[in-house]
Amino acid sequence: MDSSGLSGTFDNPGNYFHSMELHFCTLANGIRLVHYPVKGVVAHCGLIINAGSRDEDDSEHGIAHFIEHMLFKGTTRRKAWHVLSCLEDVGGELNAYTTKEETVIYASVLKEHYGRAVELIGDILINPSFPAREIEKEKEVVIEEINSYLDNPAELIFDEFDEIVFTNASLGRGILGTPDSVKSFTAGAIKRFTGNKYDTSGMVFCSAGDISATQAERLFRKYFGPMPANYCSRRVSMEPGYKAVSVSRNTGTNQAHCITGNIAYNLHDTRRTVMYLLNNILGGQGLNSRLNMSLREKNGYAYNVESTYNPYSDTGLFSIYFGTDERNIARSFGIARREMDRLMTRRLGPVQLSRSKNQVKGYLARAYENHEHLMLSMGKSLLVFGRIEPAEATYRKIEAITAEQIMETANEVFCQQEMSSLIYR
């Protein structure tokens, strides 16, 4: 579970989780640091940039993800091979990903090589070379990535559902782009996007490991301080205008793939914590979720079934996905609808409510123990909210949720007339 969406207010940087001490620093160029000194032989660090696929213009579809690839293809100091080998040679790992709203570069290394990782990420950010030969090679790589995605309807259906829910909006476009859009990218287009969207005040360097606060800040200042300040215009919020729509496509797949959902609360809405809990009850990661128990365990209609809640800076999306035999499509939708109706009309009893809260708190506690996950969650929380919330405060928010709030949220989000659907058959 990405706990960043559950973060809220925390103005005291100490006592994050069981007396965890966090260290904060902001450079003159606006880049922020959050470091968590924690015992262990492995250290983690990463850079979160507040720029993703939704920040692209129509002509730039897929460029945020393409830049993520190109950041590994050389700097003014290193060729591509040297970027890839810098941490691999000492048993470390360098990785990256792009979302609708962020680009993230992160690394895990033995703690004695922590400085090497910080220097490398700083070099990638400040001195990318975007060589023309590498751009042309990487276009083919990304196009193959797109083609492999097109061959996987269980993943493709989520992108198309975004398109029909967020119609005519950049948030609805797929992260990878299209073969034609990728072929059009040039070094000039890449530099324009980074210059217009890579706002230094929208960057957070996050870190976790057996590294002193003094050492972490010294390395942060040394390798990120030289970055020139670059302040960009704020992200444009999406215009409201959602309308429910139902689409069915004949795709010739052996299994029918089905998704249904509705817009939901954004990252800054206080109701998002209730929505997280509600989503987990309905179809979260637990095998005892209501959808898994009814669709899979009781009726055998689906192997894969899940519900998801993705909050963004200005909106959110709730969805249910399942794969089933074509003859069971109507029955499966009917069962999913009944489970939503139950949550809309039947208040959870004290035992059910307590069990649901304990389950979510357990997931969060396990996530906090994963220092790589915790590092990235802290970074996103600082980026989105400007502060980090202690786990105990998050637990208190979960404990404060009432059965009435769950019913109210279910009635707002699960309203049948507001649900869109997409079927591949």
57-75, pLDDT tens digit by residue? 999 999 999 999 999 999 9
Total number of domains in the chain: 2
- Spatial CB neighbours of 393, under 8 Å, sequence gap ≥ 6: 8, 10
Helices (H) and strands (E) in the chain, counts: 15, 11
pTM: 0.92
Collapsing DSSP to helix, strand or coil, 29 comes out as: coil
Quick check: is 118 in a domain?
yes
pLDDT at 11: 34
Per-residue pLDDT for 2 more than 70? no
Q: What's the confidence (pLDDT) of residue 240?
A: 82
In the predicted model, what is the mean pLDDT of residues 178-201? Answer: 97
Enclosing domain of residue 312: 246-424
Kindly report the backbone phi and psi dihedral angles of residue 308, in degrees, each rounded to the nearest multiple of 5, phi listed first.
-135, 150
Q: Is residue 108 part of a domain?
A: yes
Q: Does pLDDT of 17 surpass 70?
A: no
- Mean local confidence (pLDDT), 411-423: 98
159 and 300 both lie in a single domain: no
Tell whether 205 and 156 lie within a shared domain: yes
Two tokens, residue 388 = 């980090």
Same domain, 307 and 368: yes
The predicted model gives 20-29 an average pLDDT of 93
Q: Which residues pair with 246 in a beta bridge?
A: 421
- Residue 331's CB is within 10 A of a number of other CB atoms, namely 14
pLDDT given at position 1: 36
- CA dist 416 and 349 (Å) reads 24
199 falls in which pLDDT band (50, 70, 90)?
very high
Q: How confident is the model at residue 234 (pLDDT cuts 50, 70, 90)?
A: confident
* Mean pLDDT score across all residues of the chain: 94
Q: What SS3 state is found at 47?
A: strand
42-51 pLDDT, tens per residue?
A: 999 999 999 9
Sheet with 32-37, strands from edge to edge, namely 23-26, 32-37, 203-209, 42-49, 103-110, 93-98
For the segment 202-223, the average pLDDT, to the nearest whole number, is 98
Helix H or strand E encompassing 323:
strand 316-324
Neighbouring-strand partners of residue 319: 261, 308
Are 98 and 206 part of one and the same domain?
yes
The better pLDDT of the pair 192, 241 is held by 192
Q: Per-residue pLDDT averaged across 392-412, rounded?
A: 96
| 74 φψ region: left (φ > 0), alpha (ψ -120 to 50), beta (else) | left
94, β-bridge pairs: 107
The mean pLDDT value for 134-162 works out to: 96
CA torsion angle 164 170 173 179 (round to 10): 140
Give the pLDDT score at 10.
33
108 has a pLDDT exceeding 70: yes
Residues 349, 352, 357, 360, CA torsion sign: negative
Report the DSSP beta bridge partners of residue 45: 107, 207
Query: Exposed (0-12), middle (13-18) or buried (19+): which is 52, by Cβ within 10 Å?
Result: buried
Residues 242-251: tens digit of each pLDDT: 999 999 999 9
> Does 198 lie in the same domain as 77?
yes
Statement to judge: residues 81 and 214 lie in one domain: yes
Q: Is residue 54 part of a domain?
A: yes
Q: Is the domain of 188 the same as that of 48?
A: yes
Q: Are 36 and 179 part of one and the same domain?
A: yes
Residues 156 and 37 in one domain: yes
Q: Quick one: pLDDT at residue 20? A: 61
Q: How many of the other CB atoms lie within 10 Å of CB of 151? A: 9
Q: Collect all residues with Cβ–Cβ distance below 8 Å to 141 and sequence separation of at least 6.
A: 69
Residue 15 lies in a domain: no
Longest CA pairwise span in the chain (Å): 63
Is residue 13 pLDDT above 90, yes or no? no
Residue 233 has pLDDT above 70, yes or no: yes
Region 361-390: mean pLDDT is 95
- Residue pLDDT, tens place only, 121-136: 999 999 999 999 999 9
Residue 67 dihedral angles phi and psi, to the nearest 5°: -65, -40
Q: Indicate if the pLDDT at residue 226 is higher than 60.
A: yes
- Identify the band that residue 237 occupies on the pLDDT scale cut at 50, 70 and 90: confident
Question: Which CATH number belongs to the domain containing residue 45 in this structure?
Answer: 3.30.830.10
Q: Residue 162 domain-assigned? A: yes
Beta bridge partners of 398: none
| Spatial contact of 33 and 209, defined as CB atoms under 8 Å apart | no
Here the tokens at position 90 are 């000492």
Distances (CA, A) of 363 to 200, 366, 408: 33, 5, 24
Sign of the dihedral through C-alpha 168, 174, 180, 186: positive
- What pLDDT digit, counting tens, does each position of 290-336 carry? 999 999 999 999 999 999 999 999 999 999 999 999 999 999 999 99
Residues 254, 387, single domain; the answer is yes
